[in-house]
Amino acid sequence: MNKFTINDDDQSAVLSADQKGNGAGRASLDRLWRRGCDFLGSQYAIMAGAMTWVSERNLVAAISNAGGFGVIACGGMMPDQLLAEIRATKELTKAPFGVNLITMHPELMSLIDVCLQEKVGHIVLAGGLPSGEAIARAKNGGARVICFAPAAVLAKKLIRSGADALVIEGAEAGGHIGPVSTAVLAQEILPLIDEVPVFVAGGIGRGEAMASFLQMGASGVQLGTRFVCASESVAHENFKKAFIRAPARDAVTTVQLDPRFPVIPVRALRNEGGERFNQFQRETIKRVDAKEVDLAEAQLEIEHFWVGALRRAVVDGDVENGSLMAGQSVGMVKKEQPAAEIIEELVDQASAFLERNSA
């Protein structure tokens, strides 16, 4: 059957035949992401993106219990807070989960030690290129290290530094992003990297896209935006409603106002909070020019701004003045549903897509 000439009735028949992920499509999916599943220790090679204030014990445990791989977002937590969060997550799931640590965190080494103490199997180092010392500390303690690679040359460098797996995340993602699209990164990096598993992230909202990246050589995927409206997510009702209402075009990026002041772009839903950030950025630039604060400290203040703005939206429900960090896949978030149902949909869509292709 030519997949470009399937009529509506034929397509419905094909989809219903593999509705539960049976048949050749499911077998192909299991084969394509076997390396990723083995690496994560999960049923499905679907990593959850770490979203500050959202990716906490309840959502992380729900995703892992459903066969995916939940990841705690440490964000600005201090070691004692992370310790409590890891232990609370263990009370809710016996399945594997990871912890995402921000490389610029002043207590990074202590946070790594907490993860090792609690026998966390996977540590994700994000928010910048991690030092060789940080990678070695985690690996020597028995954890597998996952790093973000924004370009092929950096992917190779991270592997030489000891990274056990990579995430390539495109500009379609929510939160802090790089300048290159997921599709381009996948074409640039997947054909060159086979030493370690590579997970693709950014703009993935359906199983068909997931399967396509697996066919290109990915070992798995990472999704964040789709899980914000999971029933188990503690995000405020207003935050979830904003996601459900938003089309993809409303997920826009912040702008850099001064090339002397590099600020990593952030993708979020358009609102007053974005305008407030621009004003904060202008004020911070003036303070740097006046030598009231050095560049490194100013950049840390920017991070603190985002943490506070995100908390206002996620926790307090202030969706006008807070930060609504979201990827462009937000247009595919249509309702609140259990994490297990989201994962089942993704797996069924991927299986049906592969089933149609095999036909």
pLDDT tens string 77-86: 999 999 999 9
- Position 5 scores a pLDDT of 34
Say if residue 9 is in the same domain as residue 58: yes
72 assigned to some structural domain: yes
Say if residue 283 is in the same domain as residue 198: no
| End-to-end alpha carbon distance in the chain | 6
Residue 277 has pLDDT above 90, yes or no: no
Say if residue 192 is in the same domain as residue 271: no
- Position 39 scores a pLDDT of 98
Q: Please write down the long-range contacts of 152-158, taking CB distance under 8 Å and 24 or more positions apart.
A: 152/188, 152/189, 152/192, 152/193, 154/129, 155/189, 155/192, 155/193, 155/198, 156/192, 156/193, 157/129, 158/129, 158/130
Q: What is the mean pLDDT of residues 285-305?
A: 84
Confidence of residue 22 (pLDDT cuts 50, 70, 90): low
Confidence of residue 31 (pLDDT cuts 50, 70, 90): very high
Say if residue 71 is in the same domain as residue 194: yes
Q: pTM (2 decimals)? A: 0.90
Say if residue 214 is in the same domain as residue 280: no
Say if residue 17 is in the same domain as residue 52: yes
Confidence of residue 108 (pLDDT cuts 50, 70, 90): very high
- Position 233 scores a pLDDT of 98
Say if residue 115 is in the same domain as residue 65: yes
Count of the separate structural domains present in the chain: 2
Yes or no: say if 58 and 234 are a contact pair by the CB < 8 Å rule: yes
Q: How far apart are CA 72 and CA 98, in angstroms?
A: 6
Say if residue 274 is in the same domain as residue 350: no
Other C-beta atoms closer than 10 Å to the C-beta of 139 total: 16
Yes or no: say if 200 and 218 are a contact pair by the CB < 8 Å rule: yes
Q: How far apart are CA 214 and CA 212, in angstroms?
A: 5
Q: What is the mean pLDDT of residues 47-71?
A: 97
332 assigned to some structural domain: no
- Position 256 scores a pLDDT of 77
Share of the chain above pLDDT 70, in %: 93
Say if residue 117 is in the same domain as residue 64: yes
Q: Domain span at residue 34?
A: 3-234+337-358
- Position 267 scores a pLDDT of 95
Residue 87 has pLDDT above 50, yes or no: yes
The overall average pLDDT reported for the chain is: 91
199 assigned to some structural domain: yes
- Position 262 scores a pLDDT of 67
